[in-house]
Amino acid sequence: MAKEEWERAYGQIDHKKLPWYNIQLPKALLEFVKIINKKDLLLITGCGTGDTVFRLWKKGFKNIIGFDISNNAIKIAQKDYPQIKFYAYKTQDIAQKLGLKNANVADLNVLHHQKHGVEVKKYVDQLKKLSKNLCLAYFYEPDIKEIKSGIKEKEAIYIHDPSQVEKLFEPMKKVKEFRYEMDVAPKMFDKKYIHAVGQIYGK
């Protein structure tokens, strides 16, 4: 279900008009890139049409790969940034399909699309397999469990409590956490800002 919703969004809307296109880079990511080696492999999971991957490539991360569940998004990314490698894989399949593990990984604004319960747990389990160092960013509104998104008709945005997420990541250790406000496109929600959290984990 989720995949079709994403294919529809990327197939019907000009990607440069999507609310997450070229948004501010989370502070956690800016800190993360300072502590990892530029020569090491860096995986960007759920990268959409690759704008963040490209910004990191420009910062000197040439050993970088972008992944997204949506074929439409990856086709656009590959066309816009032919010098970078992209794969249309969902995050849950990367470790198995490419035999990758213990990499540096950045997963930005994807976790809040995974449903509470089994879905988010499986997602985290795969990220744990894939990463030795991980930067994770997602929406967080205290006391709210779900928010209706204007982009995906059939699915909500699921709010996960950062302390619960931290538990799911055990035995990985949370190294740093940042709380911030994200400027969101007015059409997406009924408010201009949404709270978000960025966490850095290590093994």
Strand stretches in 16-57, DSSP E: 42-45
CB of 10 within 8 A of CB of 73? yes
DSSP strand pairing (146-148 vs 156-158): antiparallel
CB of 65 within 8 A of CB of 41? yes
Q: Is 90 a binder of ligand SAM (CB under 6 A)?
A: yes
Instruction: Tell me how far apart the alpha carbons of residues 186 and 176 are, in angstroms, rounded to a whole number.
Output: 30
Per-residue interface string for the shown chain with ligand SAM, residues 9-48, x marking contact by CB under 6 A: -----------x--x---------------------xxxx
What are the contacts of 187-190 at 24+ separation with CB within 8 A? 187/19, 187/150, 188/19, 188/149, 188/150, 188/151, 189/147, 189/149, 189/150
Q: Is 73 a binder of ligand SAM (CB under 6 A)?
A: yes
Name the minimum Å distance from CB 121 to ligand SAM: 13
Instruction: Tell me how far apart the alpha carbons of residues 7 and 1 are, in angstroms, rounded to a whole number.
Output: 10
Q: Is 91 a binder of ligand SAM (CB under 6 A)?
A: yes
Per-residue interface string for the shown chain with ligand SAM, residues 147-186, x marking contact by CB under 6 A: ----------------------------------------
Name the minimum Å distance from CB 146 to ligand SAM: 15
- Options 74, 110, 194, 200; binder of ligand SAM; rule CB under 6 A: 110
Interface residue list for ligand SAM (CB under 6 A): 2, 6, 20, 23, 45-48, 52, 68-70, 73, 90-92, 108-110, 113
